[in-house]
Amino acid sequence: MNADSLRKILDLEKQRGYADTAVFGGLDKFLRNWSARAVESIGNPRLLARFHKLFKADYAAMTPEQRSQWVQDVLEFSGEMEGKDSTVESPPQKPPRKKPVPGVKKTTAPAGGPGLDSPVTIVRGISTSLSGKFGKLGVNTVRDLLYFFPHRHLDYSKMKFISQLAEGEEQTIVANVWQAQETRPGGRRSTEAIVGDETGNIRVIWFNQPYLAKKLTTNARIMLSGRVSLFRGLHVFQSPEWEIMEGQDLVHTARLVPVYPLTAGLRPRQVRKLMKDFIDLWAGQVTDFLPPELRKRLGLLELPAAISQAHYPDDETTKNKARVRLAFDELFLLQLGVMSKKRDWQESRPGSPFDIKQPIVDKFVKSLPFTLTAAQDKVLKEILADLAQSKPMSRLLQGEVGSGKTVVATAALLVAAANGYQGAFMAPTEILAEQHFATICQLLSRLGQEEGEGYIKSYTGFLERPLKVALLIGDIKQAGKKQIQKQVLEGDIDIIIGTHALVQKGVEFHKLGLAVVDEQHRFGVEQRSALREKGFNPHMLVMTATPIPRTLALTLYGDLDLSVIDELPPGRQTVKTKWLKPNQRESAYAFVRKQINEGRQAFILCPLIEESEAIMAQAAVVEYERLSREIFPDLKSGLLHGRLSSADKDAVMESFRGGGLDILVSTPVIEVGIDIPNAAVMLIESADRFGLSQLHQFRGRVGRGKEQSYCMLLAENPSEVARERLDIIENVQDGFQLAEEDLKMRGPGEFFGTRQSGLPDLRMAKISDVALLELARTEAIELFQVDPGLDKTENRLLAQEMTRVWAGAAEWS
């Protein structure tokens, strides 16, 4: 790597006191261009990972001290690189000549050899202003633009004569313009034309496009694609796509025409033309990272062809082949990544094996006021077997709301405490953390003598020393927090339950041996990773009440062993579910009143206006006041939302739990963890705004007692998709079946929020592609068995791609 230019700039920056004045316009722009060229010269994947980390920094945002350290790190790294000729190649001055690839248009290569990680402004036609608009769509580099795939294609490939046109279909004709003029139908300046071929003429109108009258000159030969409608008994093309026939490649007509995502300031024709020119020039420069033997054996398209055909396919068959290749890439890299994480976590880092202390576990199980279900028993055995291993447990525990996951987790925490280790239990909300604290304390109080009050309690009679349990949430006063943090650090507290407060700076563990994360998809990547890093390779148990189909679980959680509690405790009721029309609102209120008069309680869930806690809280307040004043003035109602203080939340919940309130009006904060056996009615407002899995979670708040329970769904004006969801939730009770349906309707990213899960994005893969998913998984397992480090020559490009794709993905399990 020729680092002279970089070293000179950095030396000058050093002399100028790190004031960001060594380069006109700031150092960041120079670094972006320099690193885009330099990255191509690095062959070693580990060095490449370091390079990405260093040059991802935002120099302008650093303090002078941070800049000084960063400059020093870069200079050391470049010196190290120059001494490693075996892992570095000279950067090519031009993109290498590549063999022609079927399906990729042959064009002149980009001059000067800028890399795929160069800013998108190097692409012809993309100005700084336009790049800002693309940036809103997540497109910042040349590579991003290559993978900026259309979300669908319009089939304009069916060529017809004018006499063959039929209304309602997408069709294409070639015709001569006989006349074109500006018109004003309904006062709108538009263009109207008469065009014809040897079989007849047809009228064409483009609304709000008067400028076309000048472009469409008499006798010009044009191609039109679009839908034909019937107007006063005659066929007419309304605002079709058009192109003048001049021998050039067709972009907007007579083919499968891409429809790209857009934002304000980007127009469909503009983006299509820009993308066509760009793909023709750049797709052939992409290096295929799949090992050739693997690609040929599976019959996959070469990567340049797949990218080209995903944008501008020759036909439907090739378009599908392109999608399969690109989707396979995503799933294959995903599988390799999660397997690599599992290996790093379990094999390169020894854990702490626990002595299971079976008598204590048996005593705990016998003290429970119920018998464990067969599924709970099976899962508990799996977890205990993991805890006895010298490699750290890495397990996902799935189970419906009320299936008894917390009991199993408590048994595991007891084993950790009996071995002299601390256990941490992290929940996504304060309400849920408090609920877990109450539940675990209640379970332990049946096992031994309880002492203490408030946020710290201790239990004696079953271990050689008292077992201490504490709750740590943001709402605790500073003095109380400091006391708990001190006791955690000194090892006086055995089990600490809390929210993300557990991973904040002030919390240090004496000897963390087991970390339990509940509703784990609700946490960001860094929070889960931070909890793991608080101990010396602690065992990790992540739990979710969101049913995840097995195929999705194996994909997203390939680094976790999977346990499922797939049965509910005996006596749990099926919740009768009904979707009501707007005119049935009064009867819904009447039913709520009837149930309350019979001694039951009800939840009324407020609509999710948008993802803002403040706005949700405001909406809940308004709805609460309306219900209290106009609908149920004679009943006792309470209000629960995320903006209440912890003390106020506790007071409301205690009042509801104790029967002091008839109705609890709430935001979606009740989605998880609230257990009120006497609540038998759930009324969900604007139910069409929620996904199936979320509606199922809400429904799980009732049906926890002996009485028949009901869930009513109100939707004012649901879309067709929402109607389908409401029909499904009305008829299906099984959470896993609902999750499968949810996936089919929404796709993996929206279903599970892969953006925050730390995983690479899935642009082409659909989790409903079970066969492709299993193929990618099988191939990844086989490759991982023979070359886990991807060290073989034939896997070198794959190793580089893995480093690039996973560079920004933090530890996420």
Annotate 511-552 with DSSP letters as a single string.
Answer: SEEEEEEESGGGS-HHHHHHHHHTSSS-EEEEEESS---HHH
Q: What's the pLDDT tens digit per position in 680-690?
A: 999 998 888 88
User: What pLDDT band is residue 2 in, cutting at 50, 70 and 90?
Assistant: low
Distance CA 775, CA 192 (A): 53
User: What pLDDT band is residue 721 in, cutting at 50, 70 and 90?
Assistant: confident
pLDDT for residue 126 is more than 70: yes
**603 or 136, higher pLDDT:** 603
Using left for φ > 0, alpha for ψ between -120 and 50, and beta otherwise, residue 138 falls in: left
**33 or 335, higher pLDDT:** 335
Distance CA 571, CA 590 (A): 28
For residue 185, give the DSSP letter: G
**751 or 701, higher pLDDT:** 701
- Specify the residue for token string 């990790």: 540
How confident is the model over 117-131, as a mean pLDDT? 82
What local confidence, expressed as pLDDT, does residue 610 receive? 45
Contact 711, 578 (CB under 8 A): yes
Indicate the range of 340-354, 370-384, 698-712 predicted with least confidence. Answer: 340-354
**697 or 1, higher pLDDT:** 697
Q: Strand, coil or helix: what is 759?
A: coil
Half-sphere exposure of 622 toward its Cβ, with a 13 Å CA cutoff? 9
Q: What's the pLDDT tens digit per position in 341-350?
A: 777 766 666 7
Structure tokens at 281: 């020039």
Indicate the range of 105-109, 305-309, 686-690 predicted with least confidence. Answer: 105-109
Using left for φ > 0, alpha for ψ between -120 and 50, and beta otherwise, residue 193 falls in: beta
**580 or 260, higher pLDDT:** 580
Phi, psi dihedral angles at 451 (to 5 degrees)? -135, 160
pLDDT for residue 757 is more than 90: no
Indicate the range of 377-391, 417-431, 700-714, 737-751 predicted with least confidence. Answer: 737-751
What local confidence, expressed as pLDDT, does residue 108 receive? 46
Phi, psi dihedral angles at 362 (to 5 degrees)? -60, -40
User: What pLDDT band is residue 611 in, cutting at 50, 70 and 90?
Assistant: very low
Distance CA 594, CA 96 (A): 77
pLDDT for residue 170 is more than 70: yes
Q: What's the pLDDT tens digit per position in 501-546?
A: 787 777 889 999 999 988 755 555 456 567 777 777 889 898 887 7
**475 or 670, higher pLDDT:** 475
Structure tokens at 386: 């993991």
What local confidence, expressed as pLDDT, does residue 741 receive? 77
What local confidence, expressed as pLDDT, does residue 588 receive? 93
What local confidence, expressed as pLDDT, does residue 443 receive? 92
Indicate the range of 156-165, 340-349, 432-441, 713-722 predicted with least confidence. Answer: 340-349
CA 399 to chain centre: 21
User: What pLDDT band is residue 329 in, cutting at 50, 70 and 90?
Assistant: very high
Strand locations in 280-402, DSSP E?
A: 394-399
Indicate the range of 248-262, 320-334, 760-774 predicted with least confidence. Answer: 248-262
pLDDT for residue 191 is more than 70: yes
Q: Whole-angstrom distance between the N-terminal and C-terminal Cα of the chain?
A: 36
pLDDT for residue 615 is more than 70: no
pTM for this prediction: 0.58
Amino acid identity at 240: P
Contact 370, 339 (CB under 8 A): no
Distance CA 703, CA 683 (A): 13
Q: Strand, coil or helix: what is 423?
A: strand
SS3 per residue for 551-611: HHHHHHCCCCEEEEECCCCCCCCCCEEEEECHHHHHHHHHHHHHHHHCCCEEEEECCCCCC
In DSSP terms, which residues pair with 174 in a beta bridge? Answer: 223
Q: In what order do the strands lie in the sheet with 456-460?
A: 449-451, 456-460, 467-472, 495-498, 422-426, 512-518, 539-544, 394-399, 561-565
User: What pLDDT band is residue 424 in, cutting at 50, 70 and 90?
Assistant: very high
When mean pLDDT is compared over 195-204, 380-389, 800-809, the highest value belongs to: 380-389
Indicate the range of 150-154, 442-446, 776-780 predicted with least confidence. Answer: 150-154
Structure tokens at 264: 């304000």
Distance CA 237, CA 218 (A): 18
What local confidence, expressed as pLDDT, does residue 807 receive? 66
What local confidence, expressed as pLDDT, does residue 303 receive? 93
Task: Write out the DSSP string of 104-162.
Answer: S---PPPTT---TTSBGGGSTT--HHHHHHHHTTT--BHHHHHT---SEEEE---B--G
What local confidence, expressed as pLDDT, does residue 119 receive? 86
Q: Strand, coil or helix: what is 62?
A: coil
Structure tokens at 426: 């992290």
Q: Strand, coil or helix: what is 746?
A: helix
| pLDDT over 90, % of the chain | 22
Amino acid identity at 295: R
pLDDT for residue 614 is more than 50: yes
SS3 per residue for 660-674: CCCEEEECHHHHCCC
User: What pLDDT band is residue 44 in, cutting at 50, 70 and 90?
Assistant: low
Q: What's the pLDDT tens digit per position in 427-448?
A: 887 878 888 998 899 999 999 8
Contact 204, 240 (CB under 8 A): yes
| pLDDT over 70, % of the chain | 81
- Specify the residue for token string 């009837």: 594
